[in-house]
Structure 1
Amino acid sequence: MARFSTPMLGFLLLCCLAAGTEAGYPQYKDPNQKLGVRIKDLFSRMTLEEKIGQMVQIERSVATPEVMKKYFIGSVLSGGGSVPAKKASAETWVNTVNEIQKASLSTRLGIPMIYGIDAVHGHNNVYNATIFPHNVGLGVTRQLIKKIGEATALEVRATGIPYAFAPCIAVCRDPRWGRCYESYSEDHKIVQAMTEIIPGLQGDLPANSQKGIPFVAGKTKVAACAKHFVGDGGTTKGINENNTVISSNGLLSIHMPAYLNSISKGVATVMVSYSSWNGEKMHANRDLVTGFLKNKLKFRGFVISDWQGIDRITSPPHANYSYSVEAGVSAGIDMIMVPYNFNEFIDDLTYLVKKNIIPMSRIDDAVKRILRVKFVMGLFENPLADLSLVNQLGSKEHRELAREAVRKSLVLLKNGKSAYQPLLPLPKKATKILVAGSHADNLGYQCGGWTIEWQGLGGNDLTVGTTILKAVKNTVDPTTTQVVYSENPDADFVKSNEFSYAIVVVGEPPYAETFGDSLNLTIPEPGPSTIKNVCGAVKCVVVIVSGRPVVIQPYLAAIDALVAAWLPGTEGQGVADLLFGDYGFTGKLARTWFKTVDQLPMNVGDRHYDPLFPFGFGLSTQPKY
């Protein structure tokens, strides 16, 4: 038997312990290791199949445990309206997300998947969540946005989800665009200020943070996503997914600034726009995605495509998918929102890499960025959600915050036929008042698109909230005031009832994306008829519920008072708070209100600026009670 000296035995023992530690507990699983060490260690262990799997995001409906394990899928999403069950509880959501996650954790390396969802005005896919005003209204508030981010993060985490596809930092330059309500303002300075939602969603960036490094502060925060890079709000005639024709200087001075703010606040991800810039699809624009965003701005999070975004590089979409995969990945997109045909994507990308058409260095860059975000978020330490936050969903505190946001987002555009005879605030004590209009008792219309379903819904059964009609009934004196509701009354009915005054609530039906593109921007019937029948017979305040300025000039002379309520969300009580003077109107337009669509596009600072109501306009009232 061979004999060893004591020092030699000690050295061998240390070597064995070190080897055992490395094999039993790899460095990437050690939260005490530096971020770079963890990324390098995990990355060095990954096969090509595992790397490509990390770059794939698939829809919940196809994310079976078998698929997650076989293809090492890196991310899952719920598209608009994709839910585990109708009116699913927070507990059901948590269990659904955890079941998918458990499949990811059972793979060879146990890399957790990241689950994303569109939480664009609160946790809007989920029943009983607080639905905040859409961004078009929040741009008016110029405040509260960080608190709204904090509340949204808590409600998203309540359902076990750690990643929100928000905020939209588009600068909508033409209200004919169907996504204009997702934009805070036509003015990039307001949009820049509203990026303060990012520290609300993700947490405040530590003081010593390196520029461009993503940051998410633990289990009550979510990874955010600045979107849609870049120029989505500047397309010709506001046509969705179309072409933004503008100089480099214009792109950089109008559409780019909010991305600088987002990156400086540690935003974890950036989503690319469907649109083109001067004819070149953004999903294929390497100069902007890699050259500018990644290299010049030093963004170190990951870049994600939009839904089937690479498919739409070609016209018609998916006409040459292999080319689309090559163009999108080569441009610098790190994670592809496939979301269904993952087999085809994986096969095509694998082929392109093995044939050296896409260099391995591009795959490596993508995967390191995705891993960086997952490590920063603490997903490796806390991959599974628990039920500790379920009571945050639709909490009283969050609903009060949303109600305050409604109050601060409304803009009073007219108050009385003359300045000396204001109609608002309305008296709570009156003999009989009329509430009319298609949007007065319709929670779905009040919330707009991207609520429960992608395109939104009508009616009052979609989620929990307060309609404007209910808010009025809650506010008036019940002992003296009779509230009569008639959705579309005729003139004779109005004249014969001797109403003290009327509240008419009309506007746009819900829509999202291309379905909302409009070249005429008119209020659909019976809205105009309701205004005419009611306001022609009794003193009236008209409340416009819409995702943008609409044609109102033809009716303005007949209207006593006019309020732009945008898309206020579930907390309609905030509207009544202002109408009856519990609080005063303070909102100022963050968008120009045009006279006719022939003037469009027309934005503040333009040479031929002749609006009905200019950017920054808004009448004030004093609280009455």
Structure 2
Amino acid sequence: MQIKIKHIALSVLAVMAFELANAQQKVTATDKKVEALLSKMTLEEKVGQMTQITLDVIGKGNDRYSSFEPVMLDPVEMEKALGKYHIGSVLNTANNRALTTKKWFEIISEIQKTSLKLNAHKIPVIYGVDQIHGATYTAGATMFPQQIAQAASRNLGLIEKGAAITAYETRASNIPWNFSPVLDLGGDPRFSRMWESFGEDPYLVSVMGVAMVDGYEGKDNNIGHPEKIASNLKHFLGYHAAASGKDRTPAYISEEALREYHLPSFKAVVDAGAHTIMINSGIINGVPVHANYNILTKLLKEELGFKGLVVTDWADVENLHRRDRVAATDKEAVMLAINAGIDMSMVPYKYEVFCDNLIQLVKEGKVKEERIDDAVRRILKIKYALNLFDKPNTNPKDYPKFGSKEFEKASYDMASEAITLLKNQGNILPLKKNVKVLVTGPNANSMRTLNGAWTYSWQGEKVEEFAGQYNTILEAVQNEIGKANVMYVPGVSYKQGGHYYEELTDKMDEAIAAAKNSDVIILCLGENTYTEKPGDLNDLYLSELQTELAKKLAATGKPVVLVLNEGRPRIISRFEQEMDAVVQTYLPGNFGGDALADVLFGDVNPSGKLPYTYPRFPNATISYIHKPSEEQKKAEGVYNYEADYNPQFSFGFGLSYTTFGYKDLKVSKTSLKKGENLQVSVTVTNTGKVTGKEVVDLFTSDLYASSVTPDVKRLRRFEKIELKPGESKTVMFELTPADLSYIGRDGKSILEAGDFDVMVEKLKVTFTLID
């Protein structure tokens, strides 16, 4: 028997050694191809590979900022860009408008054909697009809920599946590179791109980022597969932490905070094998990140060991000169960015300036050619990994599932699990299907607001042109209970063609009158679509007109169900107490109306949980991750701390149509040695009358720390389970030493002996970590 076991063990080792050698041989073969190609390239060809232009530059039009419709490529401009300047990458759509798969195939095939014809080395172009919640810029594609809603679903399987569908439909569009996911910590409700994030918790962002990249690239990161794409991690590093809460403005982040809160998600997804990364457009501690050698090279490439492609955000090399003023000229800006560690510049228009300047800088010795070679090597490896040399195009005819009912069902499932019930006074929800309802509010009959920006166009203003076949909230409610039972008056509307926050009264008095003839009011409030600078705001309260509408409807005495459809938590404390129910839909996508109607009328039991803290006041935008000093309670007879930590709704909060009981929180050891793992278990029971899904969140608290003040609590694990009435399940978790560590003032990880609390729901157990 021992001889047999020995032979089996040797056989296994032999197989493993063969597979390892085989894998190394494949890597070596690709490396040899890259080095052979690199050795033949001129400096001008290398610099061209490092340059990315937007599609309009090579489209027929009056200038390089827009194209004629229908979109056609300009042979003269193509010859200049792809031939004379050897441009290696193209991004974006034309005229800020989604194209059909047929049109994408036609355009990109022609670009590839021209590039291969003009390029002496037959190097294909790599095409990239922001397909952030589905194939954003492809007409007829499946639009999923935005990332903030996906985070609310807490369903990693659905996130991976949605990303895999997006990869499939992006490849059906002949596009192999996707600028997604966003791994920024969405901890500031003022920020215009909060909804593009997975929320305010580093662990939540990390595991969801890994799930999304697994969907895009496959768990084996085989992006050469015709149904997979190269992902792009955004935006390294600390982008959402702007001190003003406004896009592309300065951040001040300590080394400890940068590593404790902002770095973990990127490290997790780099470790998961993601192929490319995009850089933060902002400034950290006075230094633009695009010019920060310590962040781009020392931290990202050396410490994290990132071997992939580093690309700028839109025009951010020239911004070093024109906006941030750390470079006196465009040429100096190019020098700073490339020497800091940028591999590819999203120019996107004046590519001649970038290329000519970089060539001169190398010839002058101000940028070493080794740095150029390193960048181009990374670019060529991605192109080989995507199999672009052998198959530069993917044809939509090979993707029969594009826009299929199967894919649409996945979008609906995610929306239905994301929707979060925040208030249900008197169990008014679910509604009976024989009620007469008034549907009102500016978001009630809009596909645009259900989707948000980056949907068929950058700001989402073109959604109605492409999404007419889907159901708005109004249409979904009408389908649910019949048109005869539904009245509709907007009450407030968004000004067409105006800034996203411009609103008009739209028959508000008529809405108040109609309310008196209804049994229930479904009030749909929130925001119009926006992203980046156009989404900056000065007032986090929900608008005055929407607040007025809510208060006047509540004054009718009819029960009001407030439906929130918003990208960030706009403050509702001026009227929330007058609402009977509050339902958060976030930005749920094309099937958000259908999912919401099913929740409101009981076909779906809500199970979403807030991925952020919902603030009560504008000066109380504190994350659940905070220090004990934020929770100083009233001192008897001395002070009343009005601005104590007092959110409208807490991180992780979300109600159900059933109830859940927790008991028997246990740890495997109450005394744990450093280096050991800790097992935690808790029993959860459905104590209500209907089947429901529950998210079990596990938090820890380091009671005392020597280097920096510990956070009150941190999310370490979660699991989403489904239970029938009366059913119980014991949920098991395992904590590692990394979960008990923290980053000290010197930026290094510290694991200290001491007491820790483990918390699940209202249960708590203490254990001691010993040396």
Relative to the length of structure 1, the TM-score reads 0.89
Match of 1:16 in 2: none
Deviation at 1:495, TM superposition (A): 4.8
Match of 1:269 in 2: 276
Match of 1:24 in 2: none
- In 2, Cα distance between equivalents of 1:414 and 1:75: 49
Match of 2:116 in 1: 105
Gaps of 5+ in 2: 1-24, 59-76, 492-506, 631-644, 659-689, 693-771
**Residue 306 (1) aligns with residue 307 (2):** no
CA contact 1:205–1:265 (8 Å) conserved in 2:
no
Q: For residues 536 and 460 of structure 1, do their structure 2 counterparts lie closer, same or farther at Cα, with a shift above 3 Å needed?
A: farther
Kindly provide the amino acid, as one letter, of the partner of residue 436 in structure 1. T
Greater mean deviation of Cα atoms: 614-623 or 159-168: 614-623
* Structure 1 segment 246-285 matched on structure 2, within 5 A: 246-285=253-292
Kindly provide the amino acid, as one letter, of the partner of residue 407 in structure 1. S
CA contact 1:425–1:624 (8 Å) conserved in 2:
no
- In 2, Cα distance between equivalents of 1:79 and 1:286: 32
Secondary structure of 1:238's counterpart equals coil
User: Which residue of 644, 648, 661 corresponds with 1:612?
Assistant: 648
- In 2, Cα distance between equivalents of 1:77 and 1:266: 23
Deviation at 1:532, TM superposition (A): 2.1
Kindly provide the amino acid, as one letter, of the partner of residue 198 in structure 1. V
Kindly provide the amino acid, as one letter, of the partner of residue 396 in structure 2. L
- In 2, Cα distance between equivalents of 1:111 and 1:617: 51
**Residue 316 (1) aligns with residue 323 (2):** yes
- In 1, Cα distance between equivalents of 2:239 and 2:585: 24
Match of 1:474 in 2: 479
Deviation at 1:173, TM superposition (A): 2.0
Relative to the length of structure 2, the TM-score reads 0.72
CA contact 1:167–1:224 (8 Å) conserved in 2:
yes
Kindly provide the amino acid, as one letter, of the partner of residue 92 in structure 1. K
Secondary structure of 1:503's counterpart equals strand
**Residue 46 (1) aligns with residue 41 (2):** yes
Match of 1:92 in 2: 103
Match of 2:144 in 1: 132
Q: For residues 256 and 624 of structure 1, do their structure 2 counterparts lie closer, same or farther at Cα, with a shift above 3 Å needed?
A: closer
Kindly provide the amino acid, as one letter, of the partner of residue 94 in structure 1. F
- Please list the CA deviations of residues 478-518 of structure 1 after superposition, one character each: whole Å capped at 9, or x if unmatched: 6xx52111111545754564211111111111111011122
- In 2, Cα distance between equivalents of 1:470 and 1:574: 12
Secondary structure of 2:396's counterpart equals coil
Gaps of 5+ in 1: 1-29, 207-214
- In 1, Cα distance between equivalents of 2:78 and 2:85: 10
Match of 2:212 in 1: 197
Q: For residues 181 and 112 of structure 1, do their structure 2 counterparts lie closer, same or farther at Cα, with a shift above 3 Å needed?
A: same
Match of 1:17 in 2: none
CA contact 2:276–2:311 (8 Å) conserved in 1:
yes
Q: For residues 35 and 288 of structure 1, do their structure 2 counterparts lie closer, same or farther at Cα, with a shift above 3 Å needed?
A: same
Deviation at 1:526, TM superposition (A): 3.4
Q: For residues 468 and 624 of structure 1, do their structure 2 counterparts lie closer, same or farther at Cα, with a shift above 3 Å needed?
A: farther
**Residue 177 (1) aligns with residue 191 (2):** yes
- In 1, Cα distance between equivalents of 2:479 and 2:29: 56
CA contact 1:158–1:392 (8 Å) conserved in 2:
no
Deviation at 1:240, TM superposition (A): 1.2
CA contact 1:583–1:624 (8 Å) conserved in 2:
no
- In 2, Cα distance between equivalents of 1:594 and 1:118: 30
CA contact 2:560–2:581 (8 Å) conserved in 1:
yes
CA contact 2:490–2:508 (8 Å) conserved in 1:
no
- In 1, Cα distance between equivalents of 2:596 and 2:398: 29
CA contact 1:301–1:369 (8 Å) conserved in 2:
yes
Match of 2:696 in 1: none
Match of 2:578 in 1: 558
* Structure 1 segment 531-610 matched on structure 2, within 5 A: 531-537=550-556, 538-571=558-591, 572-607=593-628, 608=630, 609-610=645-646
More strand by share: 2
**Residue 507 (1) aligns with residue 518 (2):** no
Larger relative CO (CA 8 A, sep 6+): 1 or 2?
A: 1
Equivalent pairs, count: 578
Kindly provide the amino acid, as one letter, of the partner of residue 100 in structure 2. S
Q: For residues 296 and 80 of structure 1, do their structure 2 counterparts lie closer, same or farther at Cα, with a shift above 3 Å needed?
A: farther
Kindly provide the amino acid, as one letter, of the partner of residue 420 in structure 2. V
Kindly provide the amino acid, as one letter, of the partner of residue 336 in structure 1. S
* Structure 1 segment 209-248 matched on structure 2, within 5 A: 215-248=222-255
Greater mean deviation of Cα atoms: 379-388 or 501-510: 379-388
RMSD: 2.1
Match of 1:210 in 2: none
Match of 1:11 in 2: none
Deviation at 1:90, TM superposition (A): 1.0
Deviation at 1:315, TM superposition (A): 4.8
Kindly provide the amino acid, as one letter, of the partner of residue 353 in structure 2. E
CA contact 1:172–1:186 (8 Å) conserved in 2:
yes
- In 1, Cα distance between equivalents of 2:28 and 2:186: 44
- Please list the CA deviations of residues 215-264 of structure 1 after superposition, one character each: whole Å capped at 9, or x if unmatched: 51411111100010000011103121122212111101111111111111
Q: For residues 343 and 152 of structure 1, do their structure 2 counterparts lie closer, same or farther at Cα, with a shift above 3 Å needed?
A: same
Kindly provide the amino acid, as one letter, of the partner of residue 164 in structure 1. N
User: Which residue of 429, 433, 444 corresponds with 1:424?
Assistant: 429
Q: For residues 523 and 293 of structure 1, do their structure 2 counterparts lie closer, same or farther at Cα, with a shift above 3 Å needed?
A: same
- In 2, Cα distance between equivalents of 1:325 and 1:491: 58
CA contact 1:91–1:390 (8 Å) conserved in 2:
no
CA contact 2:48–2:86 (8 Å) conserved in 1:
yes
**Residue 37 (1) aligns with residue 66 (2):** no
Match of 1:6 in 2: none
Q: For residues 414 and 440 of structure 1, do their structure 2 counterparts lie closer, same or farther at Cα, with a shift above 3 Å needed?
A: same
Secondary structure of 1:414's counterpart equals strand
CA contact 1:240–1:517 (8 Å) conserved in 2:
yes
Secondary structure of 1:554's counterpart equals coil
CA contact 2:56–2:95 (8 Å) conserved in 1:
no
- In 2, Cα distance between equivalents of 1:597 and 1:615: 17
Deviation at 1:312, TM superposition (A): 1.6
Kindly provide the amino acid, as one letter, of the partner of residue 148 in structure 1. G
Match of 2:371 in 1: 362
- In 1, Cα distance between equivalents of 2:321 and 2:624: 32
Match of 1:158 in 2: 172
Kindly provide the amino acid, as one letter, of the partner of residue 415 in structure 1. N
